Amino acid sequence: MSTESSTAGTPEGTTTTWTAAQVARLVDHTLLKPEATPADVAALLADARRLGVLAVCVSPSFLPLAQTAGEGSTDGLVVATVCGFPSGKHASEVKAAEAAAAVAAGADEVDMVIDVGAALSGDVDAVRADIAAVRAAVPAPGVLKVIVESAALPDDVLVAVCRAAEEAGADFVKTSTGFHPTGGASVHAVEVMRATVGGRLGIKASGGIRTAEAAVALLEAGATRLGLSGTAAVLDGLPQG
């Protein structure tokens, strides 16, 4: 990734200069565990403001967040939620209805999960149509991110679903739900995604990112957004400022 905040790849050396504040502005601070409570959401929002992140990502049942955590609780924060999460096996019309409800309840961004099995069986048309159905429910300026569960996909399928996401009008492709047994984000997957749609779509790395080193590696590989449930630990490992 070419960015002012990194000097990696320069003739002078390979030192990265990402600061905690710079990385925070690329973070969706995330709480998607099934056992989350409204008190956990209130704590997430307080942490988000303290850490200076861009966005929070919560389960759709917590929307509208003003009802869950109080008026003003999202001031200065982008609100993201998920759709068809985490399996992606919901019917397209159910995903679209869920996304429309999320937007009506104040979501600025919707992270939908594709049907991984459809992708693996080569039915890219079904994947594209599924994404397009949700896109129609999340009109601009709403932001649609497409979770492809990259660890479950061979490279050729990952490329095909990234292309399908672009053709269906998505704003981002996103590596992982964080709930799939094959694992989360990898540098390799982000590199493949960048090579396929980078510069036109955003690339969100998420799932299993626990350290500053892992986060920086993914940013250097081309991620333009990070989904983190362990945000404080990641930011604590970076130079402050």
Residues found near ligand G3H in the complex (CB under 6 A) = 30, 32, 57, 177-178, 184, 206-209, 227-230
Q: Where are the alpha helices (DSSP H) in the chain?
A: 20-24, 38-51, 65-69, 92-104, 116-120, 124-137, 155-167, 187-197, 212-221, 231-236
Residue 112 or 209 having the CB closest to ligand G3H: 209
Instruction: Report which of 53, 61, 52, 54 is spatially closest to residue 32, judged by C-alpha positions.
Output: 61
Active site (annotated) includes residue 89: no
Question: What distance in Å separates the CA atoms of residue 141 and residue 138, rounded to the nearest whole number?
Answer: 8
Please identify which of the residues 28, 145, 171, 204 carries the catalytic annotation.
Answer: 204
- Does the annotation mark 174 as catalytic? yes
Give the separation between CA 207 and CA 133, rounded to whole angstroms: 25
Given 28, 130, 171, 174, the catalytic residue: 174
- Smallest gap from residue 83 Cβ to ligand G3H (A): 12
Minimum CB distance to ligand G3H, residue 177 (Å): 6
Residue nearest to ligand G3H (CB): 178
Catalytic residue (one of 28, 95, 111, 115):
111
Closest CB to ligand G3H among residues 88, 178: 178
DSSP helix/strand/coil, 211: coil
What phi-psi label fits residue 76: left (phi over 0), alpha (psi between -120 and 50 degrees) or beta? left
**C-beta of 93 vs 108, nearer to ligand G3H:** 108
Q: Which is nearer to ligand G3H, 206 or 224 (CB)?
A: 206
CB of 174 to ligand G3H, least distance (A): 7
C-alpha angle with apex 191: 186 to 194, nearest 5 degrees? 125
> What are the beta bridge partners of residue 201?
198
> Based on CB atoms, which residue is closest to ligand G3H, 73 or 229?
229
Residue 4 CB, nearest approach to ligand G3H (Å): 26
Which of these, 185, 235, 180, 176, lies nearest to 211 by C-alpha position? 235
| Residue 122 beta carbon to ligand G3H: minimum distance, rounded to whole angstroms | 26
138 and 99 Cβ atoms separated by less than 8 Å: yes
Helix (H, G, I), strand (E, B) or coil at 86: coil
Residues known to be catalytic: 111, 174, 204
